[in-house]
């Protein structure tokens, strides 16, 4: 039985929601589950459900900041 492993590298983080990040392929992922969050259509607005609340892409744009990788001493 073949086993596949996929490494997801975070590129952008959402300020108010530290458990979610966008990767280089511009998809939203949950850190705890490691699964991709699918975009949701509410009316004519495209967005994401984060912790039970709907955020449109327009609302998320100012909350996104660059991911800072921590340097480990070992």
**Tens place of pLDDT per residue across the chain (74 aa):** 888 888 888 999 999 898 999 999 999 999 888 899 999 999 999 999 999 999 999 999 999 999 888 887 87
Q: Left (φ > 0), alpha (ψ -120 to 50) or beta: where does 9 sit?
A: beta
Give the predicted TM-score (pTM) of the model. Answer: 0.81
Please tell me the predicted confidence (pLDDT) of residue 42: 95
Please tell me the predicted confidence (pLDDT) of residue 72: 79
Please tell me the predicted confidence (pLDDT) of residue 53: 94
Best CA proximity match to 27, nearest among 38, 14, 13, 41: 38
- In Å, how far are 41, 63, 71 from 57, measured between CA atoms? 11, 10, 31
């Amino acid at each position: 039985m073949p086993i596949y492993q996929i490494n997801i590298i975070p590129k952008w983080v959402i300020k108010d929601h530290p458990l979610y990040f966008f990767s280089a392929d511009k998809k939203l992922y949950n850190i705890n589950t490691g699964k991709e969050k699918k975009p949701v259509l509410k009316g004519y607005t495209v967005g994401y459900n984060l912790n039970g609340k709907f955020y449109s892409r327009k609302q998320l744009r100012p909350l996104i900041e660059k991911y800072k990788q921590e340097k480990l001493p070992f």
